[in-house]
Each structure stands twice: as C-alpha cells, then as structure tokens.
Structure 1
Amino acid sequence: MAREAVAGRFSEVGVAPDSAFADAVLLVVSELVVNVLRHAPRSPVADVGITVGARHLVVSVADAEPCLPEFEPGATGAGLQLVAELAGEYDGDISAEPAIDHDGKVVLVRFRVPSQAR
C-alpha cells in the first residue's frame, strides 16, 4: 500500500513512473516499511510521506518507536545499508530524528531528482 501511495504521487511531483529513479524510491519505501514491521514493535502503523522541492525528493517514514537507528558503517542492517546506497546513488542521504507531533521517530531519505526522471 505504501509503494502504491508513493507511486501514485510520481506524476504530481514530476517523476517518470517507469524510470530507474522511481524504482529506487519505491525500493526505499519498501525497505523502510519492512524495518518498521521488524524493528518497531510499539508501532501498529507507519506514516509514509513524499515531498519534492528544489530538485530534491524526500521520503519520510514515521513510526511510534522512539529508538533512533544508527547509520555508521557496520551498525546498520542490510536494509538500511541498501537504503543509504540508493540515496547515495542520487546524491542523497538518510537520517532519523525524533517525531515532532508524536512519540516516535521519522526516518528521512533525501534524493536529488535526476533531470531524466522529470
């Protein structure tokens, strides 16, 4: 459902749905939602968002687990490592911060939108 919701916004934000960039974004969404299911037992749902501005696309996944993941090399599992690599392929990055409006956290993955994806 999260992948479908994000893919449904691609035309709105100028991303070609059949591009390699779209595939990378959808894989990141999948990996982050799977992480919520595996590692956030206090969180019955994940809130997935997508924003675009200044040639950057940001995927956000919020959950109710307050423990922030570590992103240092060797500290992440295969899923977060893949997410970091995909973001890096598009001059982006991954971070996490405490949620503002609820107990929990938000994982943010930033990508630079390639010109061919628009």
Structure 2
Amino acid sequence: MRRHVTSVRVGPNAVREAREAVAGHFAETGIAPGSAFADAVLLVVSELVTNVLRHAPHSPLTDVGVTVAGDQLVVSVADTEPRLPDLTLEGMGAGLRMVAELAADYDGELSAEPAVEHDGKVVLVRFEIPL
C-alpha cells in the first residue's frame, strides 16, 4: 500500500496545488500521466477541492490524499466542516454527481465520513485502477 497526503492552504491556488501534488505521484503508483484514468482522477480532485472552497471556506487547510492498494486507488479530501454532503441522487449538486459518475466509470464509489484525526469530514472516491 502506498499513501501520500498533501496539505493545501484553502485559497485561490488550492485546486492547482492539489492537482499538481496528486499528479506528481502518478508515476510511482503506475498510473500513466495523460491517460483517461489520470484525467478522471485529476478532475475528481479539482471538484472535491472546489467544494471545500465553496462549502468549508473557514478550513485553513485541506488534506488531499491518494492511496493505492492492490488494484484500487482512493482519493481523499478532508476539511474542518463537520457537515457531511448529501450523497443521495436528489441531494447532490452537479459536481458531486459528476464525481460519482466518474467513480462508477471505474467500478468505484463516492462516500463521506467524519474525520478521525480532527473535527470535520473526509470525502472519499474509490476507483478500480484499469489494467
């Protein structure tokens, strides 16, 4: 199992910094940069960090993680807002619906849970890594 977490300051550069941090670990996790899968992962990172900017603006940092274990890749984005997103089809906005669809395209799923190490939450997106 390989896990990388980067703390990104919540602000105008957060999305770019999060994408660069995640993309920087693609080679060591066996993901081809520029592949459709890499693009999907980076789009998910962009959307989840954008949601932190919109819905948890008082979070000073967001922790963006990538975990690879076996044939699964998990993207995690944590903030200090304790309110969990509504992940029902009716409750999700367009961005989270897109994230859920991208995860489903790779036999994965979208979930959210209370953070363990601090007040707040973690949004998780699981993907099966394509062969």
What's the counterpart of residue 109 of structure 1? 125
Give the AA of the match of 1:11. A
What's the counterpart of residue 97 of structure 1? 113
Does residue 79 of structure 2 align to residue 60 of structure 1? no
Spell out, residue by residue over 1:68-101, the C-alpha distance to the aligned partner (whole angstroms, 9 max, x if none).
0111111011110110000000000010010001
CA distance in 2, matches of 1:40, 1:80: 15
What's the counterpart of residue 62 of structure 2? 46
CA distance in 2, matches of 1:17, 1:71: 29
What's the counterpart of residue 88 of structure 1? 104
CA distance in 2, matches of 1:27, 1:48: 13
CA distance in 2, matches of 1:8, 1:41: 26
CA distance in 1, matches of 2:53, 2:61: 8
**Shift of residue 41, structure 1, vs aligned partner:** 2.7
Task: Report the aligned-residue RMSD.
Answer: 0.6
Q: Which of these residues, 46, 52, 58, is aligned with residue 36 of structure 1?
A: 52
Give the AA of the match of 1:46. T
What SS does the aligned partner of 2:61 have?
A: coil
CA distance in 1, matches of 2:56, 2:72: 28
Length-normalised TM-score, structure 2 = 0.86
CA distance in 2, matches of 1:33, 1:46: 8
CA distance in 2, matches of 1:3, 1:83: 15
**Shift of residue 45, structure 1, vs aligned partner:** 1.8
What SS does the aligned partner of 1:67 have?
A: coil
Q: Which runs of 5+ in 2 are unaligned?
A: 1-16
What's the counterpart of residue 7 of structure 1? 23
Give the share of equivalent positions with the same residue, in percent. Answer: 70
Which has the larger displacement, 36-45 or 1-10? 36-45
Which has the larger displacement, 83-92 or 42-51? 42-51
Question: Which contiguous aligned blocks of 4+ residues in structure 1 show a shift greater than 2 angstroms?
Answer: none
How many residues get paired? 115
